[in-house]
Amino acid sequence: MDVGDDNYQAVTLTEVLRGVADAVPQVTNRGTRHVAAAAAAAGNHADGSAKLTKASYWQAIQGYIRSGDVLVAEDGTSYASLGLQLPPDCTFVAQVIWGSIGYSVGSLRGTLTAAPDRRHLLFVGDGSFQLTAQEVSTMLRHDYKPVIFLINNGGYTIERCWLGKTARYNDVANWAYADLPKVFRPDTRRGRSW
Partner 1 sequence: MVKTVADLEKALSAPNDSLIFIESIMDPFDAPTAVINSGNNGADLDYGPRGPRHRDNMLLRPAT
Report the interface residues with partner 1, using CB under 8 A.
33-34, 37-38, 45, 47-58, 60, 63-64, 76-77, 79-80, 83, 119, 136, 139-140, 144-155, 157-166, 177-178, 180-181, 189-194
Supply the minimum distance, in Å, between the C-beta of residue 37 and partner 1: 8
Between 83 and 91, name the residue whose CB sits nearer to partner 1: 83
Q: For residue 151, give the nearest of 111, 92, 104, 94 by alpha carbon.
A: 104
124, containing H or E segment: strand 120-125
Supply the minimum distance, in Å, between the C-beta of residue 14 and partner 1: 26
Burial class (CB in 10 A: 0-12, 13-18, 19+), 192: exposed
Supply the minimum distance, in Å, between the C-beta of residue 19 and partner 1: 23
179, containing H or E segment: none
| Sign, Cα dihedral of 155, 164, 34, 131 | positive
Q: Indicate the SS3 state at residue 72.
A: strand
Supply the minimum distance, in Å, between the C-beta of residue 136 and partner 1: 8
Between 21 and 46, name the residue whose CB sits nearer to partner 1: 46
Between 83 and 93, name the residue whose CB sits nearer to partner 1: 83
55, containing H or E segment: helix 54-64
Between 80 and 103, name the residue whose CB sits nearer to partner 1: 80
